[in-house]
């Protein structure tokens, strides 16, 4: 189950519920456990054998084919702004993709077979081709995350459009118009920037109920769909049938990879289940025409022949449909180029196309405040670049002898894992709410591991208790874990990776002096002291065979854990309650280590702690609300960058902006209503804004319910539009500023392309955070419009668990090699070998 695609499944990592990590063992599991809640997640790869190209494959994907046509950029065909201006290219493409032109694949019939056997809990699809429906899967079992051609409506008045008329218009590649208002009609496909269907959000937690998860034909590169597999409960097998490993699948002990063609993969699965003939018969029913069956058995075209046929057909169709003169095409391209430059210079309508539709409907007295908010919270390209230039200087200053606002802490993690790390390690993750203990075995297969873990609730009284109470409680949890999982065993000493996610000064990897408590802790007798010796002393008194091999920060753990499964990972980030990043520098680039005479090319992981960027307020675009947050915070003048980007503060910025309107423009919003709850500082968090942005309804009923339940305020529809716009602006600013830290590290290290492993509640749960950050990176780093993202921010592996174990393993590898750098007590470390 390594980083490289392989047709072999992992034979080394011991599964928890499966007999082995192969498809035959999955079949046995299904029969033995009477599996009845299968969740299936698919992408365009399951439809390619039907003749429908996927979107992103080089050379053969839809976007690659459209690039050969005369469009400003391939993605424009799914851009709502472009569609309003010129819907004909979309309908030329719709003519090719419309349901009825293609036969379902055997994968679609496999999904139907799961339904027929009463095993299908829900089918999540990114596809818009309706082939699941055509194969006979009922609509109530399907979640079309990106919409589909199944229904259509006017983009202006929302009037539905008759199915039969739609079919007739699309078959002629003509543009349908609304019978009621003559507005453009569009299939209910999600265009760029539009909200996903409400059915997706209503069902997104269903994977937690699954007793089997099957993922097929997807790159898992688009959020929030990409996060669905991670919602499957631990211990539930996940099967990936795909051309390559994606989305961290393979990291769990009961994950099974079937790398290759999806059709072949489901046939293999069906054979293992004893369903082979039944599946083939079911698929045969989808194509009753004998002539077509004969055609399917004809020799396949080569890849180049299929590509050329596709390009020729689409080119001819679009040319015929558009019928544009060269002069007019040039005029349109110039207009789009101008619009695109405007969008990249700070306009947000390309990200939120519904705004162009709704803003003109607002009362004039609300348009002024919205425009003021837009001016205050919009960070354009030139400002982003200015911030990044200053950011780079601050990073370098933090590495200097004198230091700076950004600490740039040396972690004494001196290399990335190479996949050859072996052994069993404990990991202790001390977070703000829970204490997690993990046992992680790094197996023979590169990039693979087994994990057993337990969580323990941190008692509320412990937050303000004593140091002795803290260490005793942690020892209790470790002892309970060891006794539960190793009862009666004569254990050798276990190395422990301790994730201590609080600011600490480290002179050694197994040493750390707490600078100050955060996250609501105020335990007496710990600040200013090394946190390792008191824990080890209590463990020794209890006779527990545990030794701290590494004390780490969760951000450094995120970097190392992500690099273990993806060699392209160069940066680890946290976008959550706080913000931070870690990366690998060279000793020769760290002046404050010059006195140690280390080899100049020695890798050294740096924990930036860059929430303190621009504490002097030189370059960050502060609003009056940011000033209030800083002034009223426990530490004014500190953590300036964090206060503008972290989840802890986004809700408070939003609240302050609304209170500003209430107090300084009486009667403008919430007129005559009790706003006393809105006056409570930090009542709202980032999730409040996220729920507003996720509201899928035109009348914003979910936002209305949110305001009523949380604030006892009932906004009007125009007021709801205002608060949605405000939430979008604050969320977008946070994402765009967050991208500056990543861009600064890339610039400093001359990194042209890499993966960034990201974790934290804002990254994983805030809608469009990743997409907005990616757009900002594109603007900052000047990628050409046709270039793919060179720096991709992806979901990270388990930094505080797996990362801690890996860093412990890397430390012991150094000890074995005699590398003493950054290790306090070599003799103690040798007892772990």
User: pLDDT tens, 262-304?
Assistant: 999 999 999 999 999 999 999 988 875 545 544 444 444 554 5
Instruction: Between 598 and 328, name the one with better pLDDT.
Output: 598
Indicate if 46 and 110 belong to the same structural domain: yes
416, part of any domain? no
193, part of any domain? no
Indicate if 439 and 379 belong to the same structural domain: no
175, part of any domain? no
Sign of CA dihedral 108, 112, 114, 120: positive
Whether the predicted pLDDT of 356 surpasses 70: no
Predicted confidence band of residue 339 (pLDDT cuts 50, 70, 90):
very low
The reply, when asked if residue 157 is annotated as ligand binding, is yes
Q: Which residues pair with 449 in a beta bridge?
A: 442
Catalytic residue (choose from 95, 146, 350, 511): 146
Structural element, H or E, at residue 457: strand 449-457
Indicate if 378 and 434 belong to the same structural domain: no
Whether the predicted pLDDT of 332 surpasses 50: no
Contact 499, 813 (CB under 8 A): no
Instruction: Between 82 and 791, name the one with better pLDDT.
Output: 791
218, part of any domain? yes
Indicate if 460 and 376 belong to the same structural domain: no
Sign of CA dihedral 347, 331, 779, 353: positive
Whether the predicted pLDDT of 54 surpasses 60: no
Whether the predicted pLDDT of 173 surpasses 80: no
Indicate if 376 and 431 belong to the same structural domain: no
Structural element, H or E, at residue 522: none
The 3-state secondary structure of 52-69 reads CCCCCCCCCCHHHHHCCC
697, part of any domain? yes
- Report percent pLDDT > 90 for the chain: 51
Tally of domains in the chain: 3
Instruction: Give the DSSP letter of residue 323.
Output: -
The 3-state secondary structure of 116-171 reads HCCCEEEEEECCCCCHHHHHCCCHHHEEECCEEEEEEEECCCCCECCHHHHHHHHH
pLDDT reported for residue 552: 93
pLDDT reported for residue 329: 42
Q: Which of 734, 763, 780 is the last residue of a domain?
A: 734
Q: Which of 713, 734, 755 is the last residue of a domain?
A: 734
pLDDT reported for residue 328: 36
Whether the predicted pLDDT of 699 surpasses 70: yes
Predicted confidence band of residue 56 (pLDDT cuts 50, 70, 90):
very low
Name which of 722, 18, 780, 831 is nearest 374 in CA terms.
Answer: 722
- Report percent pLDDT > 70 for the chain: 85
Give the contacts of 435 (CB within 8 A, at least 6 positions apart): 428, 429, 455, 456, 457, 458, 473, 474, 477
753, part of any domain? no
What number of helices (H) and strands (E) belong to the chain?
A: 29, 21
Query: Strand, coil or helix: what is 696?
Result: coil
**CA–CA dist 116, 109 (Å, integer):** 10
Range(s) of the domain holding residue 221 = 1-51+103-145+203-292
Whether the predicted pLDDT of 421 surpasses 90: no
**CA–CA dist 585, 531 (Å, integer):** 26
Whether the predicted pLDDT of 822 surpasses 90: no
Contact 238, 229 (CB under 8 A): yes
Indicate if 213 and 358 belong to the same structural domain: no
pLDDT reported for residue 593: 93
pLDDT reported for residue 66: 54
> Domain containing 363 — which CATH number?
3.40.367.20
Predicted confidence band of residue 63 (pLDDT cuts 50, 70, 90):
very low
Q: Which of 692, 709, 734 is the last residue of a domain?
A: 734
pLDDT reported for residue 195: 65
Instruction: Between 230 and 354, name the one with better pLDDT.
Output: 230
pLDDT reported for residue 91: 81
659, part of any domain? yes
Name which of 43, 45, 40 is nearest 213 in CA terms.
Answer: 40
739, part of any domain? no
User: pLDDT tens, 73-132?
Assistant: 666 677 777 778 778 878 877 777 776 777 899 999 999 999 999 999 999 998 888 889
Indicate if 113 and 244 belong to the same structural domain: yes
**CA–CA dist 58, 54 (Å, integer):** 10
Sign of CA dihedral 776, 781, 786, 789: negative
Q: Please state, rounded to an integer, the average pLDDT across all residues of the chain.
A: 84
Residue 95 bears catalytic tag = no
> Could you tell me what percentage of the chain is helix, strand and coil, using 3-state DSSP and rounding each to the nearest 5?
45, 15, 40
Whether the predicted pLDDT of 510 surpasses 70: yes
The reply, when asked if residue 754 is annotated as ligand binding, is no
**CA–CA dist 61, 52 (Å, integer):** 9
User: pLDDT tens, 425-454?
Assistant: 999 998 767 789 999 998 887 767 888 888
Angle at 778 between CA 777 and CA 782, to 5 degrees: 115
Contact 645, 635 (CB under 8 A): no
The reply, when asked if residue 477 is annotated as ligand binding, is no
Angle at 361 between CA 356 and CA 362, to 5 degrees: 105
Indicate if 431 and 369 belong to the same structural domain: no
Indicate if 681 and 725 belong to the same structural domain: yes
Q: Which of 4-8, 427-431, 804-808 has the lowest mean pLDDT?
A: 4-8
**CA–CA dist 766, 694 (Å, integer):** 9
Q: Which of 274-283, 336-345, 511-520 has the lowest mean pLDDT?
A: 336-345
Peptide bond into 301 cis (omega under 30): no
Average pLDDT in the 498-514 region?
A: 89
Indicate if 136 and 262 belong to the same structural domain: yes
> Domain containing 126 — which CATH number?
3.40.50.1220
Indicate if 43 and 111 belong to the same structural domain: yes
Token duo for residue 390: 């200053």
Q: Which of 77-81, 331-335, 471-475 has the lowest mean pLDDT?
A: 331-335
User: pLDDT tens, 10-42?
Assistant: 444 578 899 888 999 999 999 999 999 999 999
Name which of 514, 523, 512 is nearest 467 in CA terms.
Answer: 523
Most confident residue range from 380-384, 460-464, 816-820: 380-384
> Domain containing 466 — which CATH number?
3.30.420.40
Whether the predicted pLDDT of 204 surpasses 90: no
User: pLDDT tens, 595-635?
Assistant: 999 999 999 999 999 999 999 999 999 999 999 999 998 88
**CA–CA dist 206, 39 (Å, integer):** 8
Structural element, H or E, at residue 535: helix 532-541
Give the contacts of 97 (CB within 8 A, at least 6 positions apart): 52, 128, 129, 149
Predicted confidence band of residue 520 (pLDDT cuts 50, 70, 90):
low
Indicate if 7 and 123 belong to the same structural domain: yes
**CA–CA dist 739, 735 (Å, integer):** 6
The reply, when asked if residue 178 is annotated as ligand binding, is yes
Q: pTM (2 decimals)? A: 0.60
**CA–CA dist 142, 120 (Å, integer):** 10
Looking only at Cα atoms, what is the longest distance across the chain? 86
Instruction: Between 584 and 491, name the one with better pLDDT.
Output: 584
Give the contacts of 451 (CB within 8 A, at least 6 positions apart): 252, 253, 438, 439, 440, 441, 798, 801, 802
Contact 42, 124 (CB under 8 A): yes
Predicted confidence band of residue 9 (pLDDT cuts 50, 70, 90):
very low
User: pLDDT tens, 379-412?
Assistant: 999 999 999 999 999 999 999 988 889 999 999 9
pLDDT reported for residue 718: 93
Whether the predicted pLDDT of 150 surpasses 70: yes
């Amino acid at each position: 189950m390594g980083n490289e695609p392989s047709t072999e499944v992992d034979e080394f990592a011991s599964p928890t519920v499966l007999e082995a990590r192969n498809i035959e063992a999955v079949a046995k599991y299904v029969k033995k456990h009477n599996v009845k809640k299968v969740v299936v997640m698919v992408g365009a790869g399951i439809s390619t054998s039907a003749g429908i190209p996927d979107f992103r494959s080089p050379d053969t994907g839809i976007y690659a084919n459209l690039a050969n046509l005369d469009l400003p950029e391939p993605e424009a065909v799914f851009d709502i702004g472009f569609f309003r201006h010129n819907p004909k290219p979309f309908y030329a493409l719709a003519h090719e993709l419309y349901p009825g032109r293609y036969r379902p694949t055997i994968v679609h019939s496999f999904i139907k077979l799961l339904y027929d056997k009463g095993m299908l809990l829900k089918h999540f699809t990114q596809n818009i081709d309706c082939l699941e429906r055509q194969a006979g899967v009922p609509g109530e079992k399907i979640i079309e995350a990106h919409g589909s051609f199944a229904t259509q409506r006017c983009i202006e008045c929302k009037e539905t459009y008759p199915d039969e008329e739609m079919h007739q218009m699309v078959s002629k590649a003509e543009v349908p118009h609304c019978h009621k208002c003559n507005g453009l009609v569009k299939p209910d496909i999600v265009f760029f920037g539009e909200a996903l269907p409400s059915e997706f959000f209503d069902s997104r937690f269903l994977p937690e109920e699954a007793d089997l998860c099957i993922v097929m034909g997807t790159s898992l590169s688009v959020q929030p769909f990409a996060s669905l597999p991670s919602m499957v409960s631990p211990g539930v097998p996940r099967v990936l049938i795909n051309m390559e490993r994606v989305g961290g699948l393979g990291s769990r002990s009961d994950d099974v990879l079937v790398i290759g063609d999806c059709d072949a993969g489901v046939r293999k699965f069906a054979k293992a289940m004893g369903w082979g003939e039944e599946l083939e018969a079911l698929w045969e029913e989808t194509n009753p025409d004998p002539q077509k069956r004969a055609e399917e058995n004809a020799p396949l075209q080569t890849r180049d022949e299929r590509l050329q046929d596709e390009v020729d057909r689409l080119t001819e169709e679009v040319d015929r449909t558009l019928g544009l003169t060269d002069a007019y095409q040039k005029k349109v391209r110039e207009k789009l180029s101008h619009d695109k430059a405007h969008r990249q210079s700070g306009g947000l309508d390309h990200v939120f196309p519904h705004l162009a539709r709704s803003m003109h409907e607002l009362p004039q007295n609300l348009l002024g405040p919205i425009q003021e908010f837009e001016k205050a919270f919009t960070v354009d390209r030139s400002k982003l670049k200015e911030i990044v230039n200053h950011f780079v200087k601050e990073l370098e200053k933090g590495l200097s002898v004198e230091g700076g606002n950004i600490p740039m802490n040396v972690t004494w993690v001196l290399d990335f894992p190479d996949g050859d790390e072996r052994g069993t390690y404990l990991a202790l993750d001390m977070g703000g709410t829970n204490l997690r203990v993990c046992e992680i075995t790094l197996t023979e297969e590169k990039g693979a591991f087994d994990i057993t873990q337990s969580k323990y609730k941190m008692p509320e009284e412990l937050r303000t208790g004593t140091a002795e109470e803290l260490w005793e409680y942690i020892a209790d949890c470790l002892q309970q874990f060891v006794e539960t999982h190793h009862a009666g065993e004569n254990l050798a000493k276990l190395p422990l990776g301790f994730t201590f996610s609080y600011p600490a000064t480290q002179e050694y990897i197994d040493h750390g002096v707490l600078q100050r408590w955060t996250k609501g802790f105020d335990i007496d007798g710990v600040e200013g002291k090394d946190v390792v010796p008191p824990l080890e002393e209590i463990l020794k008194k209890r006779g527990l065979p545990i030794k701290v091999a590494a004390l780490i920060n969760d951000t450094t753990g995120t970097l190392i854990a992500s690099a273990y499964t993806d060699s392209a990972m160069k940066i680890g980030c946290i976008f959550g309650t706080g913000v931070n990043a870690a990366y690998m520098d060279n000793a020769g680039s760290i002046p404050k280590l010059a006195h140690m005479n280390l080899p100049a090319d020695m890798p050294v992981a740096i924990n930036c702690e860059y929430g303190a960027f621009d504490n002097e307020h030189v370059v960050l675009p502060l609003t009056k609300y940011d000033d209030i947050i800083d002034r009223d915070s426990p530490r004014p003048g500190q953590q300036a960058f964090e206060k503008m980007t972290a989840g802890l503060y986004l809700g408070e910025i939003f609240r302050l902006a609304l209170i500003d309107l209430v107090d300084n423009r009486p009667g403008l919003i919430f007129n005559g209503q009790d706003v006393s709850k809105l006056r409570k500082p930090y009542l709202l968090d980032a999730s409040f804004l996220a729920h507003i942005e996720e509201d899928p309804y035109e009348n914003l009923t979910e936002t209305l319910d949110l305001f009523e339940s949380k604030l006892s305020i009932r906004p009007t529809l125009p007021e709801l539009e205002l608060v949605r716009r405000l939430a979008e602006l604050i969320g977008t600013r946070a994402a765009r500023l967050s991208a500056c830290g990543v861009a600064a590290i890339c610039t400093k290290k001359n990194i042209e392309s890499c993966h960034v492993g990201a974790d934290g509640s804002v990254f994983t749960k805030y809608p469009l955070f990743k997409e907005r950050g990616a757009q900002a990176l594109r603007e900052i780093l000047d990628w050409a419009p046709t270039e793919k993202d060179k720096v991709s921010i992806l979901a990270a592996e388990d930094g505080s668990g797996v990362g801690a174990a890996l860093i412990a393993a890397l430390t012991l590898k150094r000890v074995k090699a005699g590398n003493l750098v950054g290790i306090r007590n070599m003799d103690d470390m040798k007892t772990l070998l």
